[in-house]
Structure 1
């Protein structure tokens, strides 16, 4: 390891022509968010390979900041950074490709460098510029030795190839970081949209409640109450989406269980709910109409299947059948009236159920549960 003390050294402060001071270059360097990150095998393996190919005891991935040089990976130094004024690489930030100095003692820029003047100091340097797509030099992949020498043309070519791999790793990190930040922003925006949608829907429900106080016609009251109930169901869906940790997809089993829990809370405690929900992941485009569909089926069953609201049981099952999802909702109530055809029904509830099934491109069928009614829905979820 190179043993050099940097305190009490006379610093040669960079002048205003020093490329290390370029604001544009520093912005480019910091955009990679690589400085002061832990060591990573992807970079350690590249410096190890550079040292072996170039037969050098020291190899470094070196990033030049405004007051220091920092090593993302190194072999043979045993340190992570040095002051900028002892940096050899800062002098090559304007030199694309390979820079080779066979004997540092003969270079006027390097001969007073404490890394060179110290006993058994550095004698040989070869570095390849790490250059951004915009042409900014942010550091080097370099090899160093304590004896004067040169690299063969093959070694120089290999060093350049490895430097390209370093930049490829940095670009990949930056791209992934940008995508992660974009996804986080999208998630925050989507959650905020769901939260505001829920609040706006609750405001609409409040207005409907005010209107109910001024309406005395029983049929109109029932219609307004049904409308209020459906809007509250949609608001509950958006509240669940706002609270979930998963944005873009949801676990439908836990999601529907929460929706049904909200329905159960408004029903008599004597009504039994039987749930058999398989854990299936779905996109929001599928999960939202499915939740609204379950809400409509269950609230209609509570309202129409039994003579009194305190009676009955409702069973809901969801499972995968090959590449399709199968939903069943069954009650043990009065069943449909004689001659009732759900396909021709003009009731708002049936129209809503049919509309939601069309959104899912689902097959819909009602049949006799003896007693009661069972609804069977089959569809292929969106990817």
Structure 2
């Protein structure tokens, strides 16, 4: 029995070759393996005159049939499963190339729009019109920055919301000369690209509003952002220590930035409220189905 086990055990070694090597390499190794086993068997039987049950016709037949089945399995494995894997790999590569091309086209179009805003600005001397153009140009630049961040980081790994907000805030503050201190406490959360852009739009409007209306160059200005998952809800709080505002007038206001914030929160199925306590405070609650579970 030991002899038979020793004889049949090497029979299954080519399975490892088929599962780990290429079709060409595994086929060559399998043929060499079985050829060496056959040569050794004939040498033992005809030269050494070894008497064993493993040289019976039924055993030899079973061995050859098993070897044939293993070879057929190896061919089937490589011609179907491995081939399908390479097709998926090629399709994925094409998808990545197409995604990169789309990214560059979107980025170029956004840059073109920004340039057009810049050209339009020089045509008007009115400060209000120039200010409106600057606001819209900043929005487009922020969208482009958001798009770049999501594409660049998405190529490597999932980007956390905290990391995304950090880069967005850095970009917005680079457009201002005001000294501002930032405090952020954001849970490790993941969202899809569309939700990330919508949240980025809200933060952009809040920060630009604080930069323009709330802060004083002579004061110690500070922004605080918190984003937590609590009681099956997402809670976002934005707080600046600026001049504050009249909440009643704010609720009745129809400025483009505020309308954009309210519309975006509504699209996300959330609720928004404002408060005036040591500066301007905005509270937003969102449903948790927007989260991507890590």
TM over 0.5: yes
Q: TM bucket by the smaller chain?
A: 0.7 to 0.9
Partner of residue 246, structure 2: 337
**Distance across 2 between alignment mates of 1:262 and 1:308:** 19
Contact kept in structure 1, 2:239 and 2:281, CA below 8 Å: yes
Q: Which has the higher helix share?
A: 2
**Distance across 1 between alignment mates of 2:146 and 2:203:** 11
**1:220 aligned residue (105, 116, 129):** 129
**Distance across 2 between alignment mates of 1:286 and 1:237:** 12
SS in 2 for 1:219: helix
Quick one: structure 1 residues 183 and 355, their matched pair in 2 at CA, closer, same or farther if it must change by over 3 Å?
farther
SS in 1 for 2:197: helix
Partner of residue 135, structure 1: none
**Distance across 1 between alignment mates of 2:82 and 2:184:** 45
Partner of residue 377, structure 1: 284
Q: Which has the higher strand share?
A: 1
* TM-score normalised per structure 1: 0.59
**2:148 aligned residue (239, 248, 251):** 239
What does the per-residue CA deviation read over 1:135-170, in whole Å, with 9 as the maximum and x for residues that have no partner?
xxxxxxxxxx973533699x979x969966984687
Partner of residue 350, structure 1: 258
Quick one: structure 1 residues 81 and 119, their matched pair in 2 at CA, closer, same or farther if it must change by over 3 Å?
closer
Q: What runs of 5+ residues in structure 1 fail to find an aligned partner?
A: 1-50, 73-78, 89-112, 124-144
**Distance across 1 between alignment mates of 2:54 and 2:205:** 80
**Residue correspondences, number:** 272
Contact kept in structure 2, 1:249 and 1:282, CA below 8 Å: no
Please, what is the CA RMSD of the aligned residues? Answer: 4.0
**Distance across 1 between alignment mates of 2:151 and 2:269:** 26
Quick one: structure 1 residues 81 and 160, their matched pair in 2 at CA, closer, same or farther if it must change by over 3 Å?
closer
Does 1:326 find its partner at 2:235? yes
Partner of residue 71, structure 1: 26
Higher relative contact order (CA 8 A, sep 6+): 2
What does the per-residue CA deviation read over 1:315-336, in whole Å, with 9 as the maximum and x for residues that have no partner?
1112222443222111112222
Q: Mean Cα displacement is larger for which, 172-181 or 321-330?
A: 172-181
Q: What runs of 5+ residues in structure 2 fail to find an aligned partner?
A: 46-52
Partner of residue 42, structure 2: 120
Quick one: structure 1 residues 374 and 56, their matched pair in 2 at CA, closer, same or farther if it must change by over 3 Å?
closer
What does the per-residue CA deviation read over 1:350-383, in whole Å, with 9 as the maximum and x for residues that have no partner?
1111122133222211112x22111111212154
**Distance across 1 between alignment mates of 2:206 and 2:160:** 20
**Distance across 1 between alignment mates of 2:147 and 2:79:** 39
Query: Residues 20-59 of structure 1 correspond to what in structure 2 (within 5 A)?
Result: 55=8, 57-59=10-12
**Distance across 1 between alignment mates of 2:156 and 2:266:** 24
**1:364 aligned residue (272, 276, 282):** 272
SS in 2 for 1:289: helix
**Distance across 1 between alignment mates of 2:190 and 2:44:** 60
Contact kept in structure 1, 2:184 and 2:225, CA below 8 Å: yes
Contact kept in structure 1, 2:161 and 2:190, CA below 8 Å: yes
Contact kept in structure 1, 2:247 and 2:274, CA below 8 Å: no
Contact kept in structure 2, 1:276 and 1:316, CA below 8 Å: yes
- The CA deviation at 1:192 is 3.4
